[in-house]
Amino acid sequence: MAERRQRTRTLAEQVRWQLLWLGTGLFFVCLLILLFFTWHAAKLNTNSLMQLEAQSLARQVAENPDSPLPRGKTFSAYRQWQDIPASLQSHFDPPVTRGEVMEANITNADGTVDYLYLLRHIDKDYGELFLLSRHHATEIEAVYLAFFKTALNQAFWLTLIIFISLFFMVRWLIRRTTEPLALLSRWAASLGRNPDQPPSTNFPIEELNQLAAQLHEGVDRIKEFNQREQQFLKHASHELRTPLAIIQASLDTLNLQSSEICQPSVQRALKASANMRRLSSALLWLARESEQPAAKSDVNVPDLCEQIINNHRYLLNNRAIDICSHIDIKTLNIESDLFAIVISNLVRNAFMYAADGRIELKISSNTLRITNPLATETNNEEHHDSAGFGLGLQLVQRICSKLGWQFYFAVEKDFFIVTVEWCDEK
């Protein structure tokens, strides 16, 4: 199964998404921390209130020693532990730590629950004092709920304001950071269209200036290489065509002056010269970057195929191979030289790598198909790669690609099949 291609993002998008997930996680973590501290603060608040009550009561008793200690339903004070009613003492485990509020709960006969809070306070002037506070669970829960709602609401808005402020600060920082990268990207795009422009070193980040200089240096090297290649093609076009024309003219003259005994050799030389001229023209055309289409002309397909097959029969090496041609069209208007090179290379490869059997050549108005049996000693993996057939199929692939033709090759049931398809303009 093909791997799913991951969607690409810009650097700013990637950082924003990461910060969004990180910010969301930190937001909820901060809320949990604030909830914990709110709960802890509620306990501290209860302890502090009872400490204030104990200090206030100790000060009142010190000012008026004869005043009785309060004995109410919700709040009571005792001088000694033994003064506390036994029914209430049983809910606490002595010893009672000084300054620490102890909590317990009582289930009443009617099923309601009361909370007990006990504080042991020691005053330097008054001495020991026990404060006992009793409240209904509904009252405590209502107070705690209101406290938590207020604290949570304030914590939520405070956290939200802080994170929104951080978001806009980080967004501004990202924009300031990615702006130089966007400038570098636009400069690199303009460098591809105008490689002669001077290198830009005005970026606010030194590393970007270094990267711009390296990009410009690489473009300069590629430009120089292309110039050398174009110059070579110009020279090669002249240097190859001139001697080929001289050879062709000399062979034509020799053909007229030679005797019948020398005629076959001269004819073979003429054919080789024509093939070389055609091949050199095709290679130079492939090497040029010009989009100018190749010239078309009418081709006598049966005669061309017969000539190519006869020129390559020596490659069969007396093997038991039958050649079967199915030509469904007599004349074809096509890029004649390139068409001849394609057929010649495919036939040569078929003759070189075929096993004993039948080689079939089929040509219709828009399709060329060659089928040949595979040699048993040939590694099948080699046939799946056009490089296994040398430069022939590579040249065919290049020609088909530039002309817009479709080129296929495959191995089916010990047969190697090559197919070329072109557009039928009729």
Stretch 194-210: mean pLDDT: 68
pLDDT 10s digits, 296-352: 889 999 999 998 898 888 888 888 889 999 998 999 988 888 888 899 889 988 888
Residue 302, Cα to own-chain centre: how many angstroms?
A: 52
Whole-model pTM: value is 0.47
**In-domain check, residue 5:** no
> Would you state the pLDDT for residue 361?
93
- Amino acid 374: pLDDT: 82
Per DSSP, the three-state class of 105 is strand
Q: Please indicate, yes or no, whether residues 199 and 172 belong to a single structural domain of this protein.
A: no
Give how far Cα 303 sits from Cα of 134, 300, 332, 339, 366, Å.
118, 6, 12, 13, 18
User: Three-class SS of residue 370?
Assistant: strand
Q: Are residues 318 and 404 in the same domain?
A: yes
Report which of 426, 418, 240 is spatially closest to residue 342, judged by C-alpha positions: 418
**pLDDT reported for residue 238:** 59
391-418 mean pLDDT: 85
Whether residue 362 is predicted with pLDDT greater than 90 in this model: the reply is: yes
Does residue 388 sit in the same domain as residue 267? no
Domain identity same for 365 and 375? yes
Model confidence at 62, pLDDT cuts 50, 70, 90, reads: low
109 and 171 assigned to the same domain: yes
Same domain, residue pair 407 and 316:
yes
> Which residue bears the tokens 């993002």?
9
Q: Which residues in 195-216 are b (16+ Cβ under 10 Å) and which e?
A: eeeeebeebeeeebbeebeebb
pLDDT of residue 21: 80
* Residue 370 in this model has a pLDDT that exceeds 90: yes
pLDDT of residue 421: 92
What percent of the chain is predicted at pLDDT more than 90? 7
pLDDT digits (tens, 9 = 90+) for 254-302: 777 766 667 777 777 777 777 777 777 777 777 666 567 778 889 999 9
- With beta carbons less than 8 A apart as the criterion, state whether 117 and 50 touch: yes
Q: What three-state secondary structure class fits 297?
A: strand
Provide the number of structural domains found in the chain: 3
- Residue 204 contacts by C-beta under 8 Å, 6 or more apart in sequence? 180
- Which of 126, 160, 192 lies at the terminal end of a domain, its last residue? 192
CA nearest to 120, candidates 78, 71, 88:
78
Mean pLDDT of 53-61: 71
- Could you tell me if residue 426 is inside a domain? no
Say what the pLDDT of residue 234 is: 64
The string of pLDDT tens digits covering residues 72-86 is 777 788 878 888 888
Query: For the residues 126-146, what does the mean pLDDT come to?
Result: 76
pLDDT at position 9: 64
CA distances from 404 to 42, 294, 345 (A): 80, 12, 18
- Quick check: is 4 in a domain? no
Domain assignment present for residue 23? The answer is yes
Could you count the other beta carbons within 10 Å of the beta carbon of residue 368?
Answer: 21
The two tokens of residue 394 are 């590579």
Q: Quick one: CA torsion of 345, 233, 189, 221, rounded to 10 degrees?
A: 110
Verify that 156 and 32 share a domain, yes or no: yes
Estimate to the nearest angstrom the gap between the alpha carbon of 349 and the chain centroid. Answer: 41
More confident residue, 1 or 306: 306
Local confidence band at 360 (pLDDT 50, 70, 90 cut-offs): very high
Is the Cβ–Cβ distance between 393 and 401 less than 8 Å? no
- pLDDT > 50? residue 384: no
Q: Give me the domain span that covers residue 203.
A: 195-292
Q: Do residue 145 and residue 57 come from a single domain?
A: yes
Judged against a pLDDT cut of 50, whether residue 379 lies above it is answered with no
* Last residue of one domain, picked from the residues 260, 292, 324: 292
pLDDT band at 387 (very low <50, low <70, confident <90, very high): very low
Query: What average pLDDT does this structure show over 225-252?
Result: 68
Confidence of residue 380 (pLDDT cuts 50, 70, 90): very low
Give residue 407's pLDDT.
92
Q: Is residue 254 part of a domain?
A: yes
In a domain, 123, yes or no: yes
Query: What pLDDT sits at residue 402?
Result: 85
Q: Is the pLDDT of residue 48 over 50?
A: yes
Asked if 43 and 179 sit in the same domain, the reply is: yes
Which of residues 192, 212, 238 is at a domain's end?
192
Tens digits of residue pLDDT in 94-109: 776 777 777 787 887 7
Residue pair 100/50 in contact (Cβ under 8 Å)? The answer is no
- Report how far residue 106's alpha carbon sits from residue 112's, in angstroms, rounded to the nearest whole number: 8
Q: What is the pLDDT of residue 232?
A: 65
Q: Read off the pLDDT of each residue in 364-383 and give the average, rounded to a whole number.
A: 72
Same domain, 134 and 239: no
The answer as to whether 2 is a domain residue is no
Q: Specify if 36 maps to a domain.
A: yes
Question: Which residues are CB-neighbours of 35 under 8 A, at least 6 positions away?
Answer: 148, 152, 155
Strand pairing class (127-136; 297-300): unpaired
Whether residue 148 sits in one domain with residue 75 = yes
151 with 280, same domain: the answer is no
